[in-house]
Structure 1
Amino acid sequence: MATLKPLASQVMVVTGATSGIGLTTARMAAKRGARLVLAARDRAALETLAAELGDSGAQALAVPTDVGIRAEVHALGEAALQRFGRVDTWVNNAGVSIYGRLEDVPQADQEQLFRTNFWGVVHGSLVALQLMKQHGGAIINLGSELSDRAVPLQGMYSASKHAVKGFTDALRMEIEKDGVPVSVTLIRPAGVDTLFTGHARNYLEHEPELPAPLYAPELVADAILYSAQHARRDVYVGGASRLMSLEAAHMPRLLDKFMNLVMFRQQQSARPAAANRSDALYQPNGAALQQRQGGRRSRVHESSPYTFLSMRGKPLGMALLVGGALFAAWKLQGKGQENARVRTLAR
């Protein structure tokens, strides 16, 4: 079993460190005393972040890295060893999305998304495992509420997060079988208020939009940092993520119909797609260090009772919360079946 160190004693690698969840995680980890190895493709943004954290008293190393290239990820691990002598936690966070119907997305774009979202996790996890085999540590992979459930218009992103879950689960079992003292955690956030849509490639007629509910990136970062110190299998960030997983398991066809009814509309804003729109699929798009999107139409949740109880709460509170979610899912399924019977009788 992995014995994980307090954060203030850790060396932590964070990929995708210059935006959103990765940036928030790096800043929060620095405040709690971790020494950081920061990875992203944008050298200038990385160096700016390392200087910012250094000015606040933290130790941070910037290593420009394309996680889709195994040799660069190996070099990232070597840089961490040379600077700090070890790695205690490796966070595989880098990712990007594509909005559009699957038949409209070129194969080259689909493959590029998988290089980052899936192969980046594979490369990072296997490099981290080699570095941690002797002294132990934590591998933390960023999945999604879409790790169990696909949505239309983000088919390749959904597929990549399914693949990340499959790889993470298999890796965890192999590590446990060998008795290696490394924990493997899959973090599964619901929609998060980051630059996700701004970084995504878009093949829709309108600018993409994240449907509510949305959660603050600090909640995801907190789950990551908790998992760096406490071995966890899965952490769902936001009750909406756990409910999505339950619905996918217990009422998949009803969820298909619900998503066909609402998700084509809810994932598109009223704004026409911008001409010559930049994105981060193949290269960084030059955005300044920014944790959140800002200007969201929907409320951003700054807390999640479900996530708090699942990580730190007492068993009774957790049981009541899960029971409530199951009851809500059951009621939704019953309502869907009743509506179907009414439509049948009306014909």
Structure 2
Amino acid sequence: MTDKSAIVLGGSAGVGHAVVVALLNRGYRVGVVARGQTRLDTMQAEYGERIATAAADVSQADVLEAAVEKLVVSLGRPAIWVNCAMLTSFSPFDKVDADEFDRIVGTTLIGQVNGTRLALRHMDRGNIVNIGSGLGYRSIPMQAAYCAAKHGVNGFTQAVRSELIRNGRPITISLVQLPAVNTPQFDWALNRLPHMPQPAPPIFQPEVPARGVLKAIDTNAREILVGLPTLKLLFGNFMLPNWLDHMLARQGADMQMTDRPDPGDRPDNLRAPAEHPAASHGRFDDRAKPDGLIVDGDVARKAVFFGVPLLAFLLGLLLG
């Protein structure tokens, strides 16, 4: 049994699936948790003994605990843990009932909370990576529950990071903030918009965030920002939040829709897994970028808040 083992929650599709593949390519054995048994069986058949799988809803702490125990018995204590499960709906907030909101937050935020708790229980040392979003800094209309959850992921992760530093545990917890990504969620998320949903352009392939996760692991980064749009959301909201409120009021819904009408009868994955192959990519391959900016968030902040004033000062000296 190799000591290079990892666990990925939400690893059967989208960014999570891309992370699993990236870790396998590095020689890790990977434990994969997801709700959909069919996709897990497909991955097991494809990768064989290189992976172990367990079906669980990450929002249910006791069910997830049992699934993780099974994986740890099979793989040993993980050195890498990635919390990637998510749910969303594309809907005006006043159409989202309490159960729908709870389910989205339960998977997207509480799933990462439950996963981190179990990671700290089973890991001696290594890296935990929580998957955030540029929408955790700047919310957009029609995804209030998802945006609330991603804001929560930021706050939760920061608190746990400080506790780990205080206690001197040899475990690093990182945030990887994502841009719009070409994943299957846009085929199965609940949609109340008049047209089919899309990632708000520009769109990136899932392998780009997966490289961001590897960078977080390699550098023990506090935060990794993936894609220039993520930086724009972070710094734009810091500088011009009111302007963004009004701009997104005008354009935010349209940015998340294709020109293809929603048929209105497609199944969604809110309460049960959707029938969809185990795959990283969605249906936007022709528009998605295979590469993107991946930067350390702390370095980016220092560059903006110290570099720009310094450049202006030097330019003033030159002109003077």
TM-score by length of 2: 0.90
Q: CA deviation at 1:296?
A: 5.7
Q: CA deviation at 1:203?
A: 1.6
CA pair 222-9 structure 1, distance change in 2 beyond 3 A: farther
Q: Paired residue for 2:252, among 232, 255, 263?
A: 263
2:172 corresponds to: 183
Alignment of 1:1-347 (within 5 A): 10-54=4-48, 59-132=50-123, 135-295=124-284, 299-304=287-292, 306-307=293-294, 310=296, 322=304
Contact 2:53/2:71, CA 8 A, preserved across alignment: no
Letter in 1 for 2:55: P
Consecutive unaligned residues of structure 1, counting only runs of 5 or more, are 1-7, 328-347
* Alignment partners' CA distance in 2, 1:223 and 1:154: 24
Question: What are the Cα deviations for residues 114-169 of structure 1, in whole angstroms up to 9, with x where unaligned?
Answer: 1111110000001101112xx21211111101111110011111111001111111
Report which stretch shifted further, 178-187 or 255-264.
255-264
Contact 1:28/1:221, CA 8 A, preserved across alignment: yes
Contact 1:191/1:214, CA 8 A, preserved across alignment: yes
* Alignment partners' CA distance in 2, 1:180 and 1:142: 21
Report which stretch shifted further, 185-194 or 9-18.
9-18
1:3 corresponds to: none
* Alignment partners' CA distance in 2, 1:243 and 1:189: 12
Letter in 1 for 2:35: R
Q: CA deviation at 1:9?
A: 5.1
2:316 corresponds to: none
Letter in 1 for 2:191: N
Identity of aligned residues (%): 27
Letter in 1 for 2:178: P
* Alignment partners' CA distance in 1, 2:308 and 2:42: 46
Contact 2:31/2:75, CA 8 A, preserved across alignment: no
* Alignment partners' CA distance in 1, 2:243 and 2:308: 15
State the number of aligned residues: 307
Q: CA deviation at 1:319?
A: 8.8
* Alignment partners' CA distance in 1, 2:158 and 2:144: 21
* Alignment partners' CA distance in 2, 1:103 and 1:274: 22
* Alignment partners' CA distance in 2, 1:51 and 1:229: 30
Consecutive unaligned residues of structure 2, counting only runs of 5 or more, are 310-320
CA pair 322-147 structure 1, distance change in 2 beyond 3 A: same
Letter in 2 for 1:257: H
* Alignment partners' CA distance in 2, 1:138 and 1:181: 9
- Residue 150 of structure 1 aligns to a residue whose secondary structure is coil
Contact 1:140/1:186, CA 8 A, preserved across alignment: yes
Q: CA deviation at 1:295?
A: 4.0
TM-score by length of 1: 0.83
Q: CA deviation at 1:326?
A: 7.1
Letter in 2 for 1:45: R
Report which stretch shifted further, 154-163 or 82-91.
82-91
CA pair 180-295 structure 1, distance change in 2 beyond 3 A: closer
Report which stretch shifted further, 288-297 or 40-49.
288-297
Q: CA deviation at 1:322?
A: 4.9
CA pair 319-184 structure 1, distance change in 2 beyond 3 A: closer
Q: CA deviation at 1:233?
A: 0.6
Q: CA deviation at 1:202?
A: 1.0
* Alignment partners' CA distance in 2, 1:302 and 1:276: 32
Contact 1:142/1:186, CA 8 A, preserved across alignment: yes
